[in-house]
Amino acid sequence: MKTVHSGNSRRDFTHGFTLVELLVVIGIIALLISILLPALNKARESAKSVACLSNLRQIGMGFAMYQNDYKGSYPIYDQYYYNVFIGTPNYGGLMACWSRLLWMKGYVGNAQVYACPSFPGKGKEEFDFSPDQRAFHMDERAGFDGVFQRVHYGYNMNNVGTNGQNTRVGGYTNQQRYTPARSWDLKNKNGTIILVDSIWYRYADQEPMGCWLVDDQYGGPGTYGADARHSGPSCNVLWNDGHATNLACPDRNNPYGVTIYSVTPGTGLTNVFNSNNHWTRDGRSLLDIVANP
């Protein structure tokens, strides 16, 4: 029996999108990406900033426990330099910067809290120690320990880690100058910075590195400065009462070049030359301290 196919029983499904239609779809997708990507990047950076603030709070608890054991005193910014300055032998006890000291003594349990998620260089893997590395870092006789000097948070060396208000005027012994602050010495009504996001660029290749101390006068490449690496731009700060917040750095790209510290009082992270700054023990400017010690 012969089968007869009707001419209109087959339909042509070979018709596709035209070039114009494809271009319209691609354009819509590109537009959606351009709208959503900044929001996603902002959300990701916000999450990193929150993790950074959590790190600072954990370190702040380490400082508090240290102070509880040492009659309210903050740790010296670097025990080695302290021994040199006051004339004792280099190995006059623990040879360690503050970050290593807190970790060695158990005040900070995990060294990875020293790594900021937004840091542009090496991350927390630098503080993920093997058993052999851990044994080395725990050895007081190891002397200088570069890893703990590359932490991503800088200590307020001039005003908390030493008696900086006395290092800038005469009439004091080295032991008086390099004695760290006690909790009741910090009377700044605006709060005193203990730690802040920090950075230092290695001279040989300009690789960004963390720095265990921070300068209260200048900030930026070539100095031990605060690092405005969070959105705004801004820094995250650990304060003397143990809380951590984000602090604006509105003049990151100001005419002075490398500095990120604001030159306008009351506008975020000002330097130590401004009155009502966040660096000194009592909020006075460095000029006032030198004139009226």
Residue 47 lies in a domain: no
- The secondary element (H helix, E strand) that includes residue 134 is helix 131-137
Residue 252 lies in a domain: yes
**pLDDT over 50 at 92, yes or no:** no
Residue 253 lies in a domain: yes
Tell me how many domains the chain contains.
1
Q: Where on the phi/psi map is residue 171: left (φ > 0), alpha (ψ -120 to 50), or beta?
A: left
**pLDDT over 90 at 116, yes or no:** yes
- How does pLDDT run across 184-242, given as a tens digit for each residue? 999 887 789 999 998 887 766 777 888 888 888 765 555 677 888 888 788 899 999 99
| Strand, helix or coil for residue 81 | helix
Please tell me the predicted confidence (pLDDT) of residue 235. 87
Residue 27 lies in a domain: no
Residue 114 lies in a domain: yes
Least confident range of 73-87, 119-133, 234-248, 277-291: 73-87
Give 272-277's long-range contacts (Cβ < 8 A, gap of 24+).
Answer: 272/158, 272/216, 272/217, 273/217, 276/190, 277/190, 277/216
Which 8-state DSSP code applies to residue 252? T
| Cα R_g (the chain), whole angstroms | 27
Mean pLDDT of the 80-101 span: 63
- How does pLDDT run across 20-62, given as a tens digit for each residue? 778 888 888 888 877 776 766 777 888 899 999 999 999 999 9
The whole domain housing 153 covers 62-291
> Looking at per-residue confidence, does 251 or 22 come out higher?
22
- How does pLDDT run across 132-189, given as a tens digit for each residue? 888 877 876 665 567 888 899 999 988 898 876 655 665 555 666 778 899 999 988 7
Band (pLDDT 50/70/90 cuts) for residue 12 is low
Instruction: Output the six-digit token pair for 152.
Output: 């991503």
> Looking at per-residue confidence, does 171 or 278 come out higher?
278
Please tell me the predicted confidence (pLDDT) of residue 5. 52
Mean pLDDT of the 264-278 span: 71
Which 8-state DSSP code applies to residue 10? -
Q: Please report the DSSP string for 203-239 in residue order.
A: TTT--EE--SEE-SS--STTSSEE---BTTTEEEEEE
- How does pLDDT run across 67-84, given as a tens digit for each residue? 999 999 999 887 766 665
Residue 15 lies in a domain: no
Residue 267 lies in a domain: yes
Q: How many CB atoms lie within 10 A of CB 192?
A: 24
Residue 67 lies in a domain: yes
Task: Please tell me the distance from the alpha carbon of residue 114 to that of residue 242, in angstroms, as a whole number.
Answer: 16
